[in-house]
Amino acid sequence: MIKNATVSARVEEDIKNEAEDILQKLGVPVSVVINSLYRQIIARSSHSKAKVAPTMRFLMKSRGAFLDANFQNDHDG
């Protein structure tokens, strides 16, 4: 499938830099992570209400990384 759509988002600079450093060390392009996140949201929403926090935990665990405790506390529930 041709990838011809662009995603633009404003994020905290330090978070962006840290995440991109981790992804670079893992050899994973940012576009792959975004595409995977979108696919997980679609897959999960077809079964129940989309929940972004569990989706993010799934993605991060699949790459061997850990989520910041603040993200978990702020977005669970």
Give residue 62's pLDDT: 56
Query: Could you tell me if residue 68 is inside a domain?
Result: yes
Query: Could you tell me if residue 32 is inside a domain?
Result: yes
Structurally, how many domains does the chain consist of?
1
Condensed to tens digits (0 to 9), the pLDDT of residues 16-70 reads 999 999 999 999 999 999 998 888 878 877 665 545 566 666 666 655 544 444 4
CB 55, CB 40: distance < 8 Å? yes
Query: Could you tell me if residue 47 is inside a domain?
Result: yes
Query: Could you tell me if residue 5 is inside a domain?
Result: no
Query: Could you tell me if residue 40 is inside a domain?
Result: yes
What is the domain range of residue 46?
13-75
pTM: 0.56
Query: Could you tell me if residue 7 is inside a domain?
Result: no
Distance (Å) of CA 20 to CA 15, 17, 25, 43, 72: 8, 5, 9, 25, 20
Give residue 73's pLDDT: 43
Give residue 45's pLDDT: 72
Distance (Å) of CA 35 to CA 28, 64, 69: 12, 18, 24
